[in-house]
């Protein structure tokens, strides 16, 4: 038996009906693993924001989840337009979402700041017109 587990989810760009599916699955797994409820809450909020970002901006993406007793790592790799200026994107209220997306209740420009607030560690790398990789790390014991 391994002391670590991996999960993988595909995310379809533009399909908001299914946005949140992967986050829900992650939540379910963490509950079953008896992870502290406050950590689950922060993890799911960060994962959900990241998942919605992929749906809103990218063509497609994959979420890789890596869990061991020390940490939960969620890596979202997408194929999409990429982020030209990551620092700008991290500002609250900054959004490139279309009015159509905003009407659906998404794209208020709180995604990245909210992820940063909830994640213990957040790493973003991006290449314009290629895609973006977001890595969320949550520490399960005392914060590293």
Partner 1 sequence: MTMHGKYFHHALKFRKDVCIGCSHCMNVCPTQAIRIHGGKAELTDNRCVDCGKCYLVCPVGAIIVEQDDFSRIFEYEHRVALIPSVLPGQFPESVSVRQICSVLLEMGFTDIFEVEHGTRILKDAMKVYMNERKDTRPLISTFCPAIVRLIQVKFPNYTNNLIHLKAALDIAAQYYQKKLIDQGADPDQIGIFYITPCAAKIAAIKSPVGDEHSAITGVINMDFIYNKVYTSVKQGFSGKKTCTIPQMQPLQPEEMLWTLTEGESSQISGRALAIDEINNVIEFMEKIENEEINDIDFLELRACDQSCAGGILTSGNRFFAAERLRNNARKARKQGQDVFVRESPESIDDYAAELKKDLGVNKILPRSMDKLDEDMTRAMHKMQKVQEIMKTLPYVDCGLCGSPTCNALAEDIAQGEATVDQCIFVQKKYEQSGKLTPKESMEKMQKIWGREKFQDSDN
77, 133 Cβ separation under 8 angstroms: yes
* Contact call for residue 54 and partner 1 (CB under 8 A): no
> Which one of residues 50, 63, 65, 67 is an interface residue with partner 1 (CB under 8 A)?
67
CB of 68 to partner 1, least distance (A): 8
CA distance readout (Å), 14 to 34, 75, 91: 33, 19, 23
Number of Cα atoms under 13 Å in the Cβ half of residue 34? 1
Distance in angstroms (rounded) separating the CA atoms of residues 22 and 30 = 12
Give whichever of 31 and 130 is closer to partner 1, judged by the CB atom: 31
Q: For residues 11-28, b (16+ Cβ closer than 10 Å) or e, as one string?
A: bbeeeeeebbbbbeebbe
Give whichever of 12 and 79 is closer to partner 1, judged by the CB atom: 12
* Contact call for residue 32 and partner 1 (CB under 8 A): yes
> Which one of residues 20, 81, 109, 113 is an interface residue with partner 1 (CB under 8 A)?
20
Residues that bind partner 1 (CB under 8 A): 1-5, 20, 23-24, 27-29, 31-35, 37-38, 40-41, 44-45, 48, 67, 69, 140
């Amino acid at each position: 038996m391994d002391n670590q587990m991996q999960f993988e989810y595909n995310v379809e760009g533009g399909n908001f009906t299914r946005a949140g599916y992967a986050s829900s699955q992650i939540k379910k797994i963490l509950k079953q693993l008896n992870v502290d409820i406050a950590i689950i809450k922060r993890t799911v909020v960060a994962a959900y924001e990241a998942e919605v970002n992929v749906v809103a901006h990218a063509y497609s993406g994959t979420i890789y989840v890596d869990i061991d007793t020390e940490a939960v790592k969620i890596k979202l790799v997408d194929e999409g337009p990429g982020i030209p200026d990551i620092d700008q994107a991290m500002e609250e209220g900054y959004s490139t979402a279309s009015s159509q997306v905003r009407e659906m209740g998404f794209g208020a420009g709180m995604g990245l700041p909210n992820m940063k607030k909830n994640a213990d560690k957040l790493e973003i790398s991006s290449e314009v017109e290629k895609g973006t990789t977001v890595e969320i790390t949550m520490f399960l014991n005392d914060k590293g």
